[in-house]
Amino acid sequence: MARDASGRRVVVIEFVTLDGVIQSPGAPDEDPSGAFAHGGWIWPYSDPELGAAIREEMALPFDLLLGRVTFDIWADYWPQHGDVWPGANAATKYVVSTTATSHAWQPSVFIDRDVAERIAALKRERGPDLHVYGSAVLVQTLLAHDLVDALWLKIHPITLGAGKRLFAEGTIPAAFEVSRSTITSKGVVVARFERSGAIATGRPPAA
């Protein structure tokens, strides 16, 4: 899907393992659903290079597009830590939820139906890019409807074998190009993948 030059992008920003897990990277109690037992798996790989990459992303202009679970986690934390990341409080939070309709953490807008259509409409508006963190269920909807313009990933050298994954059934074929990449001292691949069009296929040249 081509992006309207006058609109804004959906950028999915994730910590991810080699086997694609994005669940509960920050703490054991962040998201233990499904009896997930490995929460907090990013911390052995933290270093100044990774911290600098994260702070660079946090400093960009953005609004947030979040699933309800991630929104609830963040709403319990960021209002009390605005000195660390004032942008999270200032950003408009677009929250996809079939149960919640409002929250004290403002500004926030709740999307409870026609999710793909409403996000496509948001992309056509003028404004800052829409940054998606966590939100594993929402990410599947975005990928299935070709609404993702960029994947900014921190790929950790670890496999977990279970947990919510970045890519699941329903992801459409899509091509991306690497716009930036680096490897931290602890082996985390920090890479930005930008949507580049349809996939290309071929066959080896004749001998």
CATH code, 68: 3.40.430.10
**Model pLDDT for residues 5-32, shown as the tens digit of each residue:** 568 999 999 999 999 999 999 999 999 9
Q: Which two tokens stand for residue 81?
A: 């830590």
Is 159 within the bounds of a domain?
A: yes
Query: How many CB atoms are closer than 10 A to CB 45?
Result: 17
**Is 17 part of any domain?**
yes
pLDDT-based confidence at 147, cuts 50/70/90?
Answer: very high
Task: Show the domain range for 15.
Answer: 10-29+36-197
**Averaged pLDDT of the chain:** 94
150 falls within a domain: yes
Looking at the domain assignment, is residue 56 inside a domain? yes
Rounded distance between C-alpha atoms, residue 112 and residue 110, angstroms: 6
The answer to the question of residue 204 being in a domain is: no
**Bond before 107 cis per omega within 30 degrees:** yes
CA–CA separation, 207 and 202 (whole Å): 15
pTM for this predicted structure: 0.94
- Which DSSP symbol is given to 165? B
Nearest to 37 by CA among 45, 28, 46: 28
Asked if residue 1 belongs to a domain, the reply is no
Number of domains in the chain: 1
The reply to whether 62 falls in a domain is yes
Any domain includes 50 = yes
